[in-house]
C-alpha cells in the first residue's frame, strides 16, 4: 500500500525558515517524481514544487521561487521542502503527492494527508 506521511509543520513567525518532510513507503520511491501542493484554509489547491526521480529537473511556482527549495533522498525514501523567508500568505496545509512517472510533471496519483504550516507573529 502506497503511503505518504508529511511532517514538520507548525506555527512559525514571518521571515523564519521551516523544513517539511514526506516519508514514502509501499512503492519504489526512486522510480517516481514527487510534488508539494498546498491548500490555504478554506481555499483551493496550489501546486508548489516538483522534483523528478534523480533531482535532475526541479520546478517551482512563481509564488515560492527563490524562497523554497525542494529536495529528495532516495536512500531514505524521503521528500523535503525547505521553506525560507516565510510569509503570512504561506499559511496552508502542505501535501506531498506522487507523480505517476519518474520524469514528471504528470498527474498526481497518491497524496499524503498533509502537514499544517501557520505563519503568524
Residues that bind other proteins (CB under 8 A): 35, 37, 44-47, 50, 59, 62, 95, 100, 104-109, 111-114
Residue with Cβ nearer other proteins (44 or 66)? 44
On whether the CB atoms of residues 5 and 94 are closer than 8 A, the answer is: no
Could you tell me whether strands 115-119 and 10-12 are parallel, antiparallel, or unpaired per DSSP bridges? parallel
Residue with Cβ nearer other proteins (4 or 86)? 4
59 - beta bridge partners? Answer: 50
Question: What is the closest distance, in whole angstroms, from the C-beta atom of residue 35 to other proteins in the complex?
Answer: 7
CA 50 to mean position of chain CA atoms: 8
Residue with Cβ nearer other proteins (50 or 90)? 50
Question: What is the closest distance, in whole angstroms, from the C-beta atom of residue 95 to other proteins in the complex?
Answer: 6
Question: What is the closest distance, in whole angstroms, from the C-beta atom of residue 40 to other proteins in the complex?
Answer: 12
Residue with Cβ nearer other proteins (50 or 53)? 50
Question: What is the closest distance, in whole angstroms, from the C-beta atom of residue 46 to other proteins in the complex?
Answer: 6
CA distance 114 to 81: 13
Nearest to 97 by CA among 82, 83, 79: 79
Q: Residue 46 has which C-alpha cell?
A: 496550489
Could you tell me whether strands 115-119 and 68-73 are parallel, antiparallel, or unpaired per DSSP bridges? unpaired
Amino acid at each position: 500500500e502506497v503511503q505518504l506521511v508529511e511532517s514538520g509543520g507548525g506555527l512559525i513567525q514571518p521571515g523564519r525558515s521551516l523544513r517539511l518532510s514526506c516519508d514514502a513507503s509501499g512503492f519504489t520511491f526512486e522510480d517516481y517524481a514527487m510534488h508539494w501542493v498546498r491548500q490555504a484554509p478554506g481555499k483551493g489547491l496550489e501546486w508548489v514544487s516538483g522534483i523528478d526521480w534523480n533531482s535532475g529537473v526541479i520546478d517551482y511556482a512563481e509564488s515560492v521561487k527563490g524562497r523554497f527549495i525542494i529536495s529528495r533522498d532516495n536512500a531514505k525514501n524521503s521528500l523535503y521542502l525547505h521553506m525560507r523567508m516565510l510569509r503570512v500568505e504561506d499559511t496552508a496545509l502542505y501535501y506531498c503527492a506522487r507523480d505517476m512517472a519518474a520524469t514528471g510533471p504528470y498527474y498526481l496519483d497518491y497524496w499524503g494527508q498533509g502537514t499544517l504550516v501557520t505563519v503568524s507573529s
